[in-house]
Amino acid sequence: MKANLMFRDRDFDIKAAPCFGKAALMADLELERVVTSMSRGDETIKAACSAAVFSPLLSREDISFRQSVLMDALENPEPVRKLYEITRDTHKKKSGSWYWLYPSQYLASTFSSAVGLLKIYLEMLGELRGVADESIGGFKSEGFVGLLSMLRRELDNNYLERADEMLEELKDGEGLLVSAKLGGYLQGVDYVLRRKETSHFWRNWVFAPSFSLAPRDDAGAKDMGNRRDRAINDVTNALAQATEHIEGFFNMLRDELAFFVGCLNLRDALSALGMPVCIPTLLPPEREERSFKALYDVSLALAKNESVVGNELLASGKRLYIVTGANQGGKSTFLRSVGQAQLMAQAGMFVGAESFSAPVRSGVFSHFKKEEDKAMGSGKLDEELSRMSALSDNLKSGSMMLFNESFAATNEREGSEICRQITQALIENGIEVFSVTHLYTYAAAFFGNEKTLFLRAERLENGERSFKIVPGEPLHTAFGEDLYRKIFIEGEE
């Protein structure tokens, strides 16, 4: 039994190694707040969402498959949440029971534990089947229709009733029925656990030849135990394997459903703020097109707990985006929104926008300005170059690189030259670059480059910031005097 909600043809590994630079992306793009909002304190949801976001899908087919399952979840939130709760309750019931499968020297203990766990799992499988019966008509995606159809097909009423009867019989309340043959030297061989003829089992038991062990016959009890173990050995192995298989199914289903429940949680949080979400369009990696409408920083909206400004873009044939303009005008926020959207889109999620279209990227990398570390053994510029060196070892054609005020720890001329050379090398090797900078010399070096689009943080005539990013070439000033006037002059009035 397979869930196949995250992938069409393979399981979702919640413990898979994340992409390179996860820690930097988490911090630079402020994704911790997004994942936390998705999880609502549920560690399984948090782990599943983190694994999905930081293991970007590279195949448009895989992305489309997961998007279709997500759209089904968004249309049918209650059945999806109910299925997830059943998997959680199953884990709680197992944890709260005395039935644990673990290596034991006592075969009878393993046998009893397997029977007890199967009773729990059978009950919960029945609950899954009930949800499937009630809700399958509302689903359309290959993933959910396949899962619910499988539950209905494999877990029909006859199967559930028959399995329950057999487990009741195996609970050993009235003892076990065992057959054996006489072998050499009058030794018992071919011990087999037999089913009881329930219609007349009690009568056969009463009138059959029998004997009882003396209360203190330890040797006899040990011998009988050995004979019982020989009879139940094959059955115990089969029960243990069945238990492990069903437990694996519940765990796998819980992990995969956790991602979609996380998406439901995030959608609900953003909808409550009046912020739009959309299913993105992913283009082939070789396309140099990018467009979006009302794209916003999801983390910022969650942090402020209110609606935030979105941005628009329509670009074709561009590989380098240089963002300049007024201080505190929304440049870093814009950069985060682009990075968040790319990772969310390639996780098969919706994005925070009214519409979003972008090529699939082989990787997303970030290089943001860091605060001075007093414990650093080297200079700040050395630290930035060291981080860039590590990134360059993992960058490849088709990647996306996000720079935020990088290499600004030195003077304008040196910083600009370092930025120019690195940026030029990246775009020449097929890497898409978004660069927020206040280095005019660096930005001006790409004037006339047909692969470059210049964007600028909008500043109104009265000096106010609209927090909109609009097309515009870089200016010699970042309008720092606006901030000085607002803080030191207007603040005193």
CA-to-CA distance for 488 and 243, rounded, in angstroms? 70
Output 74 or 209, whichever has higher pLDDT: 74
CA-to-CA distance for 447 and 444, rounded, in angstroms? 5
Percent of the chain with pLDDT over 90: 62
Percent helix, strand and coil across the chain, each rounded to 5?
Answer: 50, 15, 35
> Binning pLDDT at 50, 70 and 90, where does residue 484 land?
very low
Quote the pLDDT of residue 363.
96
Q: Dihedral angle at the C-alpha atoms of 423, 426, 428, 431, nearest 10 degrees?
A: -120
Output 228 or 29, whichever has higher pLDDT: 29
Q: Is the pLDDT reported for residue 436 higher than 80? A: yes
Q: 138-142, 161-165, 244-248, 480-484: lowest mean pLDDT where?
A: 480-484
Tens of pLDDT, residues 219-270: 877 777 777 667 667 777 777 788 888 889 999 999 999 999 999 999 999 9
- Please classify residue 386 by burial: count the beta carbons closer than 10 Å to its beta carbon, then call 0-12 exposed, 13-18 middle and 19+ buried: exposed
DSSP of 52-116, one letter per residue?
Answer: HHTS----HHHHHHHHHHHHHHHH-HHHHHHHHHHHHHHHHHHHHSS------S-HHHHHHHHHH
By C-alpha distance, which of 211, 377, 362, 355 is closest to 296?
Answer: 355
pLDDT, mean of residues 151-174: 79
Residue 410's CB: how many other CB atoms inside 10 A?
15
| C-beta of residue 83 within 8 angstroms of C-beta of residue 131 | yes
Output 117 or 236, whichever has higher pLDDT: 117
Quote the pLDDT of residue 483.
45
Tens of pLDDT, residues 291-340: 999 999 999 999 999 999 999 999 999 999 999 998 888 999 999 999 99
| C-beta of residue 440 within 8 angstroms of C-beta of residue 454 | no
Beta strand pairing status for 289-295 and 400-404?
unpaired
Tens of pLDDT, residues 165-203: 777 777 755 667 777 787 777 677 777 777 666 565 556
